[in-house]
Amino acid sequence: MGNPYYECPLPVTIPPAKPFLESIKLGIKETLFPDDPFRQFKNQPASRKFILGMQYFVPILEWAPRYTFEFFKADLIAGITIASLAVPQGISYASLASLPPIIGLYSSFVPPLVYAMLGSSRDLAVGTVAVASLLISSMLGKEVNPNENAKLYVQLALTATFFAGVFQAALGLLRLGFIVDFLSHATIVGFMGGAATVVCLQQLKGILGLVRFTHGTDLVSVLRSVFSQTHQWRWESGVLGCCFLFFLVLTRYVSKRKPCFFWINAMAPMMSVIVGSVLVYLTNAEKYGVQVIGHLKKGLNPLSVSELAFGSPYMVAAIKTGIITGVVALAEGVAVGRSFAMFKNYHIDGNKEMIAFGMMNIAGSCASCYLTTGPFSRTAVNFNAGCKTAGSNIVMATAVMVTLLFLTPLFHYTPIVVLSSIIIAAMLGLIDYEAAIGLWKVDKCDFIVCVSAYIGVVFGSVEIGLVIAVTISLLRMLLSVARPRTFLLGNIPNSMIFRSRDQYPIANNIPGVLILQIDAPVYFANANYLRERISRWIYEEDEKLKSTGGSSLQYVILDLSAVGSTDTSGISMFKEVKKNIDRRGLKLVLANPRSEVIKKLVKSKFIESIGQEWIYLTVGEAVAACNFMLHASKSNNQVADEFDAHNNA
């Protein structure tokens, strides 16, 4: 035919075998160290390696020597700004977790200091978050009533925080951060939206001034509790709550429309606390049913090592709560850190972040703090305020320290309804309906995962919603592994390019040749499916050619360019496919087998059975060879027919 692809085919190279230990070492490196964190230590003296190692695990040692006065001014402004948000949010989220409000302030002092030393993000602002607070209240509240046994409940919350920190740090040290990736984007959108909805509904207790309220987090329980106590609704509290909620939502709207006014949204919660406290004090609203925080103890965090309930009968519940809240906090914190790192074009190491989160929660649990991470709202304020380094967390912690030492009595008259309004305003931003609409447009399956998580949280519980979402995501992943796609390839006109006929309808069939592409690694989980699907492709193509009177099928080409690896079940599948093709009188041809695949096919003697001459580097070369053989066979048949005709004459 004069086709250069067939006349000079490039041989498929079989890579040399590597020693077993070297293969294991390479596999571990690719799995656990994809970013190659040790490359900076190569060819360095021992003293330099020690310095680099310290800077790797304690990033403040890297940026502190280069710290300038300009950086300090920027971090000072950002730190004071986020402190004004951290104080009211800390008090509010502690109440959401059914913990004393002072613990929320404690949690904005020690953890930020630890993160400033160990964290790699320049923008992340550390603090408590609503979803983790809700999880703690929901999971531990089932075991111990926070109103009846407040001391034990606080001990369990601190113990759960300790185990969350241990779990987070272990994931980072063992380079197992990919486990958090099982919480897909769709799962997080639905879960966060559902949790935000539940949190908003639970704040009706504070808005309406109710004293008794359900411990359930599902929609039905909350609404039943609200409407069964209509005679106890306090109109004073409701009016005050609606006014502050309107103010907070308005400031958020203004800040979104005019980003230069970000400080308005940042200062709004503190302004609400100040105005609300003054109003309650001047009008004696406390006597008319408006609940207030009450006394807050002055002083810095007391040590709480002795309060960790390691010998408690509720130890299992504390560990379970710690692991679940730790994973959720990691997913949120790492995602937020990476998002803002992209804006400033720098990289953060997810595993280092996990170690930092873990260490700050371990330290926090020993200093009367509960679970903290990097909340989006606080980080966004920190970013917009112009922070330069993690030093803004140190400034925030210093401002909180001053508050703890001197200003806590001023929060005595802070109305609970203001805290409820602050929480609702913050939660409205987590109900990301635009992201859900985007999921529907792009990927219906992801949308189902998102909605399932939302419905599970709202109508079941936070744990049920999380389990449903993760289960559906894992099932989808397993389905994609167990049922990989196979494509029928055709030739793009006037080229030697072969692409899927579904994607390129103009691609032409090659007479007598069936070209199939397997779009995934071949493992035990999908080997049987692929064998059956390939047999069906062959059967359907054969029937189609017979019905149209076209050239009979002679060759089956398997494009293995997307098959990165296989196992013994996959090799057995290839052997069975070859036997099936041989029974039909056809010939199997392989195109572009990858290194791991060709090595195993050689060792299993499959290449020997198929013939090295039927392995090609590209689909184009394989098609050229098949066409040449078809043409040669046709020419031989014509010569034979002419010879028979001559003899008969």
Give the span between the Cα atoms of 495 and 104, in whole angstroms. 67
Residue 426, pLDDT score: 82
Residue 351, pLDDT score: 84
Residue 395, pLDDT score: 94
Question: Which residue intervals of 10-68 are DSSP H helices?
Answer: 20-32, 46-57, 60-63
Over residues 335-383, the pLDDT tens digits come to 888 888 888 888 888 888 999 999 999 999 999 999 999 888 888 888 8
Residue 266, pLDDT score: 78
- Whether the model pTM is above 0.95: no
Give the span between the Cα atoms of 214 and 196, in whole angstroms. 17
Residue 371, pLDDT score: 95
Looking at per-residue pLDDT, the higher value among 398 and 636 belongs to: 398
First and final C-alpha spacing in the chain: 32
Residue 398, pLDDT score: 95
Residue 162, pLDDT score: 96
Residue 578, pLDDT score: 93
Residue 375, pLDDT score: 87
Over residues 397-413, the pLDDT tens digits come to 999 999 999 888 888 88
pLDDT bucket at 5, cuts 50 / 70 / 90: very low
Over residues 560-587, the pLDDT tens digits come to 999 989 999 999 999 999 999 999 989 9
* Averaged pLDDT, 442-450: 89
Residue 647, pLDDT score: 55
For residue 590, the surrounding DSSP H or E stretch is: strand 587-591
Residue 356, pLDDT score: 93
Q: What percent of the chain has pLDDT over 70?
A: 95
Q: With 50 as the cut, is the pLDDT of residue 2 above it?
A: no
Concatenated DSSP letters of 517-557: EE-S-B-TTTHHHHHHHHHHHHHHHHHHHHHHT-PPP-EEE
Residue with the two structure tokens 């999921």: 439
pLDDT bucket at 29, cuts 50 / 70 / 90: confident
Residue 6, pLDDT score: 46
Over residues 130-176, the pLDDT tens digits come to 888 988 988 898 889 888 889 999 999 999 999 999 999 999 888 87
Residue 337, pLDDT score: 87
Q: With 70 as the cut, is the pLDDT of residue 643 above it?
A: no
Over residues 477-533, the pLDDT tens digits come to 888 889 999 999 999 998 888 999 999 999 988 888 999 999 999 999 999 999 999
For 93, the token pair is 């989220």
Over residues 193-229, the pLDDT tens digits come to 888 888 888 888 888 887 777 777 788 888 888 888 8
Alpha carbon of 600 to those of 61, 193, 279, 569: distances in Å? 48, 47, 78, 11
Give the span between the Cα atoms of 481 and 478, in whole angstroms. 5
Closest by CA to 563, choosing from 524, 594, 588, is 594
For 34, the token pair is 């994809």
* Averaged pLDDT, 434-449: 90
Q: With 50 as the cut, is the pLDDT of residue 1 above it?
A: no
Q: What mean pLDDT is reported for the chain? A: 86
